[in-house]
Structures are given as structure tokens and as C-alpha cells.
Structure 1
Amino acid sequence: MDWIALDWSVLISIVALLVCVASGRVKPMYAFPVLAIIYLVFDIVPTDNFLNAFTNPALATLVLLLMVSLAFERSRLLETLANQLLKGSERKALAKLLITTSTLSAFLNNTAVVATFLSHIAKQKHIAPSRLLMPLSYASILGGITTLIGTSTNLVINSFLISAGLPEFGLFELSKIGIPVAVICLLCLFVFRHLLPQHQHDRETSSENNYFLTAQVTSDSNLIGRSIEQNQLRQLDGLYLIEIERQGELIRPVSPSEMIHEHDVLIFTGEITKVATLQHYPGLRVGDDSASKTLNNNLVEVVISNQSELAGKTLQSVDFRTMFNAAVIGIHRGDKRLPGQLGRIPLKVGDALLLATGEDFKNHRNLDRNFHLLSGAVLPKVNTKTSTAIGMAFILVLTLAALQLMPLFTGLLLLLCGLLATKVLNLSEIRRRFPFEYIAIIGSALIIAKGLTESGAASLLTNAMTQLYQGHSPLIAMIVLYLMTWALTEAVTNTAAAALAFPIALTTAESFGLPPYPFILTITFAASACFILPFGYQTHLMVYSAGRYTPKDFVKIGSLLAIVYAITIITLLYTITIPD
């Protein structure tokens, strides 16, 4: 780096990181660690600082919180609560949903809360799911801003505070700003509920005409007595044989050696419009609906989770049928059913898959990591007594932490040990759901922030901020910081946005000679301002296809919430935290 000063090299590297992540070509999970390793190799960050970043107390607390939240995904408490919320008129159901979701999300991982309510909202019939699922996602975000543990973003910022040697947030330190903001935005969402879309869900009307077609083998067919492979039924143009109905029972999966019998009903999925392909097989009567009832009892709808290993891959490349003992017969992305050969479509987080499942589908251990179940098979639940005990133990941990009688980390660690000892959770489940991505991004971001300081790049930023804001009010700086962090949140992820904005918040405070907390709080709340686009936040992706939404649906009501949220945040922060 002799040809360019070290401080400028670090600044350029961070700009390059931002460009790579924002372009979508490189995932934050890879981009952040690569830059952190570069800083280590070039001795910008010492080895001990590199290692310490991954043992940050706030990061460790976040990991424990996510692990403990797994128990709530299997708890009957949330399931029972969800059933009660959806009773009554749409207006009452929406009010109860907003209040309950935001309250729970203040203390529980919002993904677990949304996942539980998602399946119940999707399955009920008296209110269109699109009227409730978007508010569900927004309420989980607004509840998350009210406490330290409400969202991972708050804990990420807390980890930066600890790394910078600043006092960390208390459990309810964000509440004096977060609660008023959440209340105002939830009221706004309820008052303007007429803007919520009214999409008629096609799940109840799904049939072989929409997702699959059937063809019965007639008694004079020359296919009888020959295998699937011999009849070349596995290499059809645009169609895929998923099951065979034989005397009221389904044969699945269909092996190449399976023999064709008289009166078998062959069930195909794929490009249903290519029905003419089957006309080349004499003795197949297309359109027989005798298998319809049997097949519909065997359908399960799932949404691909943000932890899924399927994202970015095709069904063929992962051998989906073998992995889950299920065949995909339809893919929805938002309000659109994807056409074409399903096996060749790259999957995305939030895609809704309609599956024809095998008998042991619900026993597959990788279901909870890859999917949120909307209908059909359900994961094992812990009984009501155990669920109550888990809830009480969690409340006790939070109470002790709030009263400063026991560190939150210690309480969560003891609770996790208790969950393992009582076999509510097991080690294989912990390994399967361990948040490696969070650790990689946050730990690496702490290293990059350290590199800013060690290289002198932070001083460059401070000088630049001093020049930029000379003669201006701190209010202008807070607005600029907010807009910058909000743009990053919508473009990348809230975790990455918080990581990139934190050093700038610190240098902005230094340029004004003010305490850092007003500016740090600005980016903390701005990093959770994921309202307008459905692609930047995991709970939005969870409800996107399930509610058959379009990006326009989110923009319409999300823009209103974003404006109200921003004005309220900036006003309260400037009034309360900036000294006269």
C-alpha cells in the first residue's frame, strides 16, 4: 500500500464493500469476512483485536437469544394466542394482532412471532390473509424497536458500543423513544387500514387445473406392464411425474422402476399448458379427476425461510425430492405463480412452494431451518405445561436483567442449559439453526470498525464531517444520518446498514463536540426502518408470497409509515437528547 496512504486505502475498501453488497452480487456474509481478513493480513487490525471481535459480549448475547427463541417456535402458547386473535370482525382482529405482535416482538425474536401467526392467518378463511399479514410484519418491526432485545439490530449497535469502550444500552433504554414511535405508527397503520390490499387467496381453489394435471391409464394402453423408465415418462417436455394414484392410494416418490398398472392415475406437474405432450402416449386419458381429493389431502404449502440453504439454487441442483421426500407442484413469488419448468427456477427467500409430500415429510429434521409451514404438516409442539414454564423462565431472566440482579447473558445461558437438560431443545437442533451468518457479519463489522480507527481513516471522516456540517445545526446531521442509514437498510440488510453507519455516527458526534448517543440512537432506529420494500427484511419476505402481495402493495402503505416513523424519530431524538 505504498502508493496510497493507509487511511485512504481503508476508506476506499469500505466504499468497495458497500458497492458490492448493495449491488446484490456479493452476500454480506461473504463480503464482510473477506474485508476483515484483508485487514488482518495487512496488519491493519492486530490478531488479538480480530479474535476479540467474535467474543463480543453483545454478540454472544444475541446468539443466546436466537437459540432460546427456538423454544418459542415450538411453544403452544403462541399458537393458542394466535387462535384467539383471529376471532371477531376484521377490525377487531387487526387491532388485537397489532397490539399482541408488537408486544411479543419487544422481547422475542420477531421471526418466531411472525412464523407462528403466519400459519394461522394463512389457514383461516373469514379474513383475507393480505389484510393481516402485512400489518403482522410491520407490527413485529415496531415492537422490536422498543427494547434492547427486540431486534438483532439493537444488539448489533450494542456490540459496537462495547467495542468502542462506550457504556452499553440498558434493557429498556430505547423504550422512551421506541414506545411513543411504535404507538404512533401502529395507530397510523390501523387508521389507514383501508389502504391494505384485498387479495383473494387461491389456496382454497387450488386444483389440478391450476397446479397439476392427471392422466388415467386405460385398459388397452400399451404402457401397462412396463416401468416408468421404459415408457420414457421421466423425460417429458416441461412435465414432471410426481405421483401415481392406485386404487385410492398415492405412490410417492415414483421410482424409475415403478411398473404401470391398468387404471393408474398419473399425476404431473410443471408446465401444465404442455398437456399436448401426453397425447403422444396412446391409452392415457388426460383430465381424469379421480385423484384430486386424495392429492389435495396430501398438499402442504411452505415459505422458504431466510436461513434456508435453498435460496439461489434450483430444485434440480439440490435434489429436492430426495432431500424432503416431497415434490414441488407450484411456486408463488408475491402475487405471481411462476411458469415454466419448476426444477430450473432459482429459488428465493420468501417464495411459497406448494408441495405434494411423502409420509415422512414432517419428520425431516431440516424443515424448520428451510421452511415456514403455512398449511399441512406441523412440527412437534411442546405441551402446554412446558410452554408455560418456558414463558415464565424467560420472564424471570428479563426481570433479573432489568433489575440488574443478573446479566442478561448469564440468564439466557442458564435458560438455554435448562432447555437442553429438559430436552425441549437438543444439540442437533442448535447446530442446525446456529446463526453463523450473524456471527460472520457482526464480528467482521467490528473488525472493520477497528480498522477505521487503527488506520487513521476515522480521523479523516471526522475532519470531513466537521467541514460538511460547519455552521449547521446537529438536526441537519441527524437527518442526513437517518436518511443514509435508511437507504442502506432498504438496499442491503438492517444488520449491514447498522454496521456501516456506526463509525459515521461516532465521527459526526466528534465533529460537533457532542456526546455520541443522539447520533447512535438515530442510526439504531433508522436501521429498523424497513417499511417500503418487501425484499430488505426477513419478516416481509415471510409474508410476501403468503399474502400474494406485489411490491406496489408495500410501497403504498410502507411509504406512509416510513414518513410518520422518520418525522417522529427525528423530532423526539432532537428534543430529548440534544442539549440546549
Structure 2
Amino acid sequence: MITWAVLISIAGLLALLISGRVRPAFAFVSLAGAYLLFGLVDTATLLAQYTNPALATLMLLLLVSLALERTPLLDWLSQRLLNGRPTTATARLMGTSAVLSAFLNNTAVVAAFLGAISRQRRIAPSRLLIPLSYASILGGITTLVGTSTNLVVNSFTLSNTGQQLGMFQFSLVGVPVALITFGVLLWRARALPHHHAEDTAEKLAYFLATDVQPGSELIGKSIERNGLRNLDGLYLLEIERDGRLISPVGPDEILQRDDTLVFTGEVSKVQALQRFPGLNLFGHEVDNLLATNLVEVVISHESELAGQTLQDVDFRSMFNAGVVGIRRGDKRLEGQLGKIPLRVGDCLLMAVGGDFRQHRNLDRNFHLLSGSFKRPQLTRNESLLTLAGFTSVIGLAAANLLPLFHGLLLLLAGLLAGRVLSVAELRRRFPFELWLIIGSALALAQAMESSGAAMRLTEGIQFLFSGHGVYAAFIGCYLMTVLLTETVTNNAAAALAFPVAWSTAQAFGVDPMPFIMAVAYGASACFLIPFGYQTHLMVYSPGRYRIRDFLKVGLPVSLTYSAAVLVLTPLVFPF
């Protein structure tokens, strides 16, 4: 009975994660709390998972990365990678991002290149951004610190075996898999769409919502008479009136009080609205915004704005900026901007005030695409010391001279002492949700094993692949992890798949290492849809992509990647 209750609860957790209606941290913590209340895990076991040494190492690595992502190195590289022929530039960009992602947070790598790619006009950004995101994944699978997924798997391995995985243990399979997959990715990149700045798709990227204020001279007059049909660079798309949409808008349509006029076109032509008295742009007079700078950003995966509307969070007061346009991929967002629930990866065009750059929560919420605003960077000496310190920590850990946790802790202390990082910055950017997810997932894994749920799933895998041996079960565990990572987040996929893979290895009486690696490589195999991986969401809107663009490139990449993993892993890590 308990076994089935655990299985049903895990199925419910998966359903919630797939629906996207509940934040993963809330779902994992709630289920872990329920297991605690019903005695499936005890208090000491639950608390021990949140202090897992491998999990603590991951937290330290992410905090140190805050300094690494502010070094001028990434910006310097981004300005020099896109020279030469488009194919050569794409290959150079992919190779560089993969090498950097093997040691740095791949989110920081993609964020650093994202702005430079979006601003340049020589190569269509849509031809570069998916290869950038995929290459960062391929680089991440080659080392222990290359992706948080590998460190999550390391946390589970430590919990079950008492031993941690080596720094370059992933490289034995990861490097050849990355090289094989690179060729296919470079070939399929040529099938991506061209969305140049002058394309119509680019011009129709944003939608401006303006309100007709009481007493406006526009009220009671037709669209034609008000001169709203022949605007410079803007087009009146629809009118929202009393909860209904009027679209298309005819020239004889009479404007009424509190109408919301939705324009599309070149947002840089927003000045064309200045001559219409009584029009408010997102709740503020158009004149007040025209004197400010336009900045384009992408909502980050750490942002507190995800799931909120602009009105809910009082965006203007929070950032001293007004949103004049929202873009999500190539999808047209209807209705008032202030009432649209925001998502990770949405592009916002903001008119910012003079002290915008002084706001301390910018890095947590946004990745910069364009505009005069520049993120603060380390000085040359600070950058050299930070990079030298990080390189030393990785080298000492790889040589087994200093545990990675000890090295990162010392480096973090040095960064704080040198004022490269501040305690306030660490508090703002601490990956609290990721810590909750992984700690709770470790507790769920304990409950799955102690209740027999993991063994029941293992029996299911054995039944499906009965008569085909341990290799077939290994393939089954890998495919299960890939399916999970395409439908939920990569870290959640690793957390849910690991106990099943571990139990399967135990049931067959073989070395668990190939099954551990199957989970690690499978959890990073998110190539088909943009919603399961944070770097895909980062490039989704700036590239004006559709889901079919990811499928067009991702399907052959995923098949090649999977075939290479399934062939090479058992050769390097025998059963």
C-alpha cells in the first residue's frame, strides 16, 4: 500500500511539473514535507539531504560563478568570434562556448554571448543562438562542474556510495560524444531561419498597449479622423474594450474612454504616439518615456517576475522602468501588457530612468540584449586574480590535492575579502530554489528506496526488457531520463531517474557506474523543445524561434547524441 502511495505521489509530482502551474521548488518541498509527516523519511534523514557535501559544493560553485561571469573575458571573446564566413563563425562560437561551459556556468556563458549576437547585424541571430545553446550543453557534459546536472548526480552518488565522482570522469564519454554531435549540429544549423533586422518578422516583434484617458480629444472620433491609420512605423492592430477585442480595426471605428489601443511595428518609432493627447503608454504619459533610454532584456530563470504580471509586481517602482513591449518567441501576445503573466525567456523592451543601472536586482532578473546600459565588470587585476584562483581550484581538485568544496570555499572567502563579491550580492543571488529542489529530491529518493517504490519501477523496467539483458535495461534507464528531461527540468529529471537507475543496477548485480552515467548524460539530452532547459528559454525569444525550429535541429542532434552515449558508455564503464 505504501509503495503504491509513493508511486502515485511521484506521478502527481511529474504531472505538476509538466503542467508548469506550480514552481518546481514548491512541488518538491511540499512532497518531501508530506513524506516527513507520514513517516516515509525521518527528520534527521531529511535535514541531512540539504547538507549533502556535493550539494554544498554545487552551491559554492554557483556563487563563485557570480564573479566569473563579470570578467571582461566573455565580452572580449563575444566581440571577436563572429568574424569571417558565417559557417566558420558559427563553428568558432560553438567551440568556444563548449570549452567555456565545461568549467563555467553555461547560463553565464550564453548570457555573455547573447547580447553581442543580438546586436550585430552581419549574421542573423536566429542562425547562431540555437547552436550556442546546444553547444553549451555539449560542453557541460564533459566535466563534473560543467553543468549543475552532473553535480546533482554527484550528490546522489555520494549519498548512495559515499564516494564522489572525479572532475574529468565525465570526459571519457563526454568529449567524444560532444565532438560527434558537434558535426551534426553544425550541419543542421544551416536549416535555421534567417530573421534579420530588416525582416518583417523583426519589425512585428513587439506590441505596444496604450490607454485612452478620460477627457482625451480622441474620444468620440473615428480612427481615420484621429489620424491613427498612417503612423510612421506603427500599425494599430486591435482595440480592447470592456474585456473584448476589436480586430481588425476599421477606419470608422469610434474611440471610447478607457479603450486600450494595441500597436505593432517598429518600437523605435514610439515617438509617433507623442502627438496624440490623452494616450498613456502602460499607465504613464508617453512624453515621460520618450526622454529615456530603450533597453531590451530577457527574463532570467532566477527572476522573481516569472508567473507575475507587470501590474502585480509594480514594475515601474521596482526598476524605475516602463515596459513598452513584450515578445515571446514569434508568438503574438494579445491584450494589455500589464496583465500578461510573464515567463522565463520573455523579451521586454523597457524605457528606463536615469538610475536604472543602480538597481541591485538587475542581474538576478534580466539578461541584457541591447541598450546603453552595461553591467558592472571586474577590473583587469580583479579578473586575472579571479580566473587564476578558479583555475587553481579546478586543477588542485582534478589532481586530488584539494577537495573541490575546500578550494571553492577558500576562493569565495578570497573574493569576499577582495571585495570582488559582497555579502549582499551573495544573498540576492543565492540559488535558494535549486537548493530546495535538490535537497528535497534527495529525500524523495530515500523514500522511494525505503518504501520499495524504486524497486517496483525497476521491476517494470525488467519486465519491459525481459530476455534482453542488462544492456537493454541500461537503454531503458537512459530513455526514461531523456523523456523526463524533455518534459520537466534537467535537474528534476536527474533527481527522479537516479533512484530507479541505481535500483536497476542493484537488481542486475552489476557495477552501477554505467547507469549513473546514463542518468547524467540523459538528463542533459534536452534538445527537442525549448521549455526544459534554461539556456533554450534564453535564446527562444531573441531568436524569434518557433518550437519547430528546435525540432528541426534538435531531433538529429538528439539521435546522434543518444546513439553515441549508448554505444560509448558501456565501453568506458563496463557493467
TM-score (normalizing by structure 1): 0.84
Distance 1:132 1:557, change over 3 A: same
Distance 1:13 1:92, change over 3 A: same
Distance 1:233 1:180, change over 3 A: farther
Q: Is 1:44 the equivalent of 2:40?
A: yes
Q: CA separation in 2, counterparts of 1:210 and 1:236?
A: 28
Q: 1:70 aligned to 62, 66, 70, which one?
A: 66
* Residue pair 2:301, 2:534 contacting (<8 A) in 1 also: yes
Can you list the C-alpha shifts for 1:483-508, whole angstroms capped at 9, x where unaligned?
A: 21111111110011111100110121
CA shift, 1:516, in A, is: 0.9
Aligned partner of 2:356 in structure 1 is 361
Q: Is 1:158 the equivalent of 2:149?
A: no
Letter in structure 1 aligned against 2:557:
L
Distance 1:234 1:536, change over 3 A: farther
Q: CA separation in 1, counterparts of 2:346 and 2:45?
A: 40
Q: CA separation in 2, counterparts of 1:17 and 1:516?
A: 26
Can you list the C-alpha shifts for 1:58-94, whole angstroms capped at 9, x where unaligned?
A: 1001000110111122111111111111222212211
Q: 1:381 aligned to 377, 384, 387, which one?
A: 377
Aligned partner of 1:418 in structure 2 is 414
Q: Is 1:525 the equivalent of 2:534?
A: no
Letter in structure 1 aligned against 2:149:
T
Distance 1:393 1:473, change over 3 A: same
CA shift, 1:337, in A, is: 4.4
* Residue pair 1:485, 1:501 contacting (<8 A) in 2 also: yes
CA shift, 1:464, in A, is: 4.4
SS at match of 1:200: coil
* Residue pair 2:206, 2:327 contacting (<8 A) in 1 also: no
Aligned partner of 1:223 in structure 2 is none
SS at match of 1:405: coil
Aligned partner of 1:256 in structure 2 is none
SS at match of 2:349: strand
Can you list the C-alpha shifts for 1:302-327, whole angstroms capped at 9, x where unaligned?
A: 00001111111111111111111111
Aligned partner of 1:502 in structure 2 is 498
Q: CA separation in 1, counterparts of 2:472 and 2:275?
A: 76
Task: Give matches, 1:276-425, under 5 Å.
Answer: 284=277, 295=290, 298-376=293-371, 377-425=373-421
Q: Is 1:560 the equivalent of 2:556?
A: yes
* Residue pair 1:332, 1:353 contacting (<8 A) in 2 also: yes
* Residue pair 1:306, 1:350 contacting (<8 A) in 2 also: yes
Mark the runs of 5 or more structure 2 residues left unpaired by the alignment. Answer: 222-258, 266-273, 280-285
Distance 1:379 1:204, change over 3 A: farther
Q: Is 1:544 the equivalent of 2:548?
A: no
CA shift, 1:298, in A, is: 1.5
CA shift, 1:198, in A, is: 1.1
Letter in structure 1 aligned against 2:357:
K
CA shift, 1:96, in A, is: 1.1
Q: CA separation in 1, counterparts of 2:456 and 2:328?
A: 45
Mark the runs of 5 or more structure 1 residues left unpaired by the alignment. Answer: 216-227, 238-267, 275-280
Q: CA separation in 2, counterparts of 1:208 and 1:124?
A: 19
Letter in structure 1 aligned against 2:6:
V
Q: CA separation in 1, counterparts of 2:149 and 2:86?
A: 32
Q: CA separation in 2, counterparts of 1:348 and 1:20?
A: 17
Distance 1:89 1:468, change over 3 A: closer
CA shift, 1:388, in A, is: 1.6
Distance 1:284 1:46, change over 3 A: closer
Aligned partner of 2:262 in structure 1 is 271
Q: CA separation in 1, counterparts of 2:220 and 2:106?
A: 44
* Residue pair 2:181, 2:557 contacting (<8 A) in 1 also: yes
Q: 2:28 aligned to 25, 32, 52, which one?
A: 32
CA shift, 1:473, in A, is: 2.3
Q: CA separation in 1, counterparts of 2:410 and 2:343?
A: 36
TM-score (normalizing by structure 2): 0.85
Distance 1:461 1:235, change over 3 A: farther
SS at match of 1:310: coil
Q: CA separation in 2, counterparts of 1:129 and 1:269?
A: 33
Aligned-pair identity (%): 53
Aligned partner of 2:510 in structure 1 is 514
Q: CA separation in 1, counterparts of 2:511 and 2:346?
A: 44
* Residue pair 1:330, 1:337 contacting (<8 A) in 2 also: no
Distance 1:404 1:236, change over 3 A: farther
